[in-house]
Structure 1
């Protein structure tokens, strides 16, 4: 009897389930992605400026500024050199661009919140692009020890080509809120891999607000390591002519009695007569409930409003369940236009049609933005939506 030959699974493809992805810190372990590859099928590869195949412009370290509120004790900010053992503790990259960032970044930033420390004002981390002819690679670690609490505003501005990895290490009974604000100029390219590791009874709140950039791709992943964890992944995005935004996420329920909630909302508008590419978004949401994750309670939803012709939204929710002993699980996704009943109701009360449509869109986003705990940031995002709507021919 001959032993059958086993062909290794290709890099970045699913193994036994969607949580068992090949990971690595070395870009050479990944093949150059092609348009037909599952995890890249929505992405305009030609617009990535070589991040995916190594042909990017000369690379430098990123311009990163960390602002900690005055008078706060127990918060340490440190620049880490390449190879520091405190980098990469959440695991390697799941795709070639993430691995390229690990291979090329000169080091990273560590923000550490000590045991029991509560920071009631935002810690703001600003990453500024270095221009269209420069590529930057970075790494960021946010670590909370047991019982700590913090809010981090991660703000991306300017223009350039940037790829980075974010690690969120949330200790037992700790609570971390993160807002990733993609506020780039409209010609920027940004690809971010994000990995959160949650301890016992920890709480993680992660919100993506994506309005700027030419091509922006976020890959957040959450893994529960002890029971009692609670994760909420939220997102708002508004794509115009020539913009492509992708959110591709995974929530990995690997232990019992954890909760997750995923809610992303997006709007798209474009001018069919423009010479720019169409406005396009893609959302892929994977939730995995492993065989030993009894008592899991999870739900994910993605809603998209297509405001004009020349815009396209793809929404792919996936729910994989390996045990029947769960508290609840569900998913949903929609792509559509205005709610005609809402519009009729507002018109019947004398509200002009354009104003009514704008109110509907703002109300559509408010369910997500209203969950951000800092009023000044909520107002900033509301203002950004209003600014987008001023240029939308509704």
Structure 2
């Protein structure tokens, strides 16, 4: 197990405002996040070796077919359930709406861009407000390397909830573009519940309009290797992004979540909260949170938090929060990260009231995840996630009994 803990208070943000650098583990200065390459061309990215900052935690030996860029396999099938006002359509790669959220930031994302033939576009019309949600089932049944492209457009002043539910098996390089336009409110939930053997690398690229609000929720449960990179960029003042994540990493699984929030305009707000539990030999989770506050982004308010709960021996969690600040005229900025085992005081409290140890451990884990799950807002999805967590806890209890 690797434990990394860093904290930065809002007062400290002013102290590092001039010429600040982001820091990785151990306080080692890294190049500015603003300088990292982005391009639509695969040839602009070399094949990663695992020594690069963006890939140093990833099992690159298991990703070689996606690095190669020949993603010609049959991608997962997307089926939709929606209300009548929201449109879901298949479009060609020459559709003018595609690519507006920015260029890919790594080789697999560029391969996904070059390889897809058609894209699925979800459009929530201007001013649309409805309590129902749009549900997209993304089901794979092929292990051949494939590319997929999804675009979600929340038009001006709309309010909506969109769920992407991944299941089956796949070796997939995926792009999810999210265009939240002026005054729109969007909740996007992406669930990765793949079968054993699946490999899924997803690049979520987000563009925020003026006074737009996005709640972006990532839930990772299944698959051998899952890596979700989320890049959020503000284009006008007044926007607000919540990045929420939940993951349960089992034996042999690699689950990686990387965030980049680019505060390039004044008076925007971002919050990131990711929680994960790990169990089993070889379980490996990675969380990297990068926040860049550019010189022009006065009035920024940002905070990022990662918590990891290690349930058994043999599991490892890497957690790296990074904060780079180029102006002192901000509302606040901070980050925190912690990795540890069960809270002995909580367990003692529950056991002292007659609750058996196994049940007490279940209660602690349920409480650890409950706050995030309750924010999803879709009862069927919430119930399914709690059932999945219960199933994972059953594995822990069975292993402890042996």
Instruction: State the 1:48 CA deviation.
Output: 2.1
Hey, which bits of structure 1, 4+ residues long, moved more than 4 A?
Answer: none
Per the alignment, residue 281 of structure 1 pairs with 285
**Contact in 2 for aligned 1:15/1:21 (Cα 8 Å):** no
After TM superposition, the structure 1 stretch with the greater mean CA deviation from structure 2, 215-224 or 362-371, is 362-371
1:125-274 alignment, distance < 5 Å: 125-132=136-143, 134-271=144-281
Per the alignment, residue 333 of structure 1 pairs with 337
Q: 1:61 to 1:358 in 2, by over 3 A?
A: closer
Rounded to whole Å, the distance in 2 between the matches of 1:284 and 1:94 is: 15
Establish whether residue 84 from structure 1 lines up as the match of residue 84 from structure 2: no
Encode CA deviations 1:131-178: one digit per residue, 9 max, x unaligned.
22x222111111111101110100100012111101110111101101
SS in structure 2 at match of 1:115: coil
SS in structure 2 at match of 1:52: helix
**Contact in 1 for aligned 2:67/2:108 (Cα 8 Å):** yes
Name the structure where helix makes up a greater proportion of residues. 2
Instruction: State the 1:55 CA deviation.
Output: 6.6
Rounded to whole Å, the distance in 1 between the matches of 2:269 and 2:386 is: 28
Per the alignment, residue 49 of structure 2 pairs with 34
Instruction: State the 1:256 CA deviation.
Output: 1.0
Instruction: State the 1:49 CA deviation.
Output: 5.1
CA RMSD of aligned residues (A): 1.6
SS in structure 1 at match of 2:37: coil
**Contact in 1 for aligned 2:42/2:69 (Cα 8 Å):** no
Rounded to whole Å, the distance in 1 between the matches of 2:51 and 2:264 is: 30
SS in structure 2 at match of 1:200: coil
Instruction: State the 1:26 CA deviation.
Output: 1.9
Establish whether residue 385 from structure 1 lines up as the match of residue 386 from structure 2: no
1:358-369 alignment, distance < 5 Å: 358-369=362-373
Rounded to whole Å, the distance in 2 between the matches of 1:198 and 1:54 is: 30
Which runs of 5 or more residues in structure 2 are unaligned? 1-28
**Contact in 1 for aligned 2:109/2:202 (Cα 8 Å):** yes
Per the alignment, residue 62 of structure 1 pairs with 76
Instruction: State the 1:248 CA deviation.
Output: 0.6
Q: 1:54 to 1:291 in 2, by over 3 A?
A: same
Per the alignment, residue 45 of structure 1 pairs with 60
Which runs of 5 or more residues in structure 1 are unaligned? 1-13, 272-277
Rounded to whole Å, the distance in 1 between the matches of 2:151 and 2:363 is: 38
Q: 1:82 to 1:61 in 2, by over 3 A?
A: farther
**Contact in 1 for aligned 2:74/2:142 (Cα 8 Å):** no
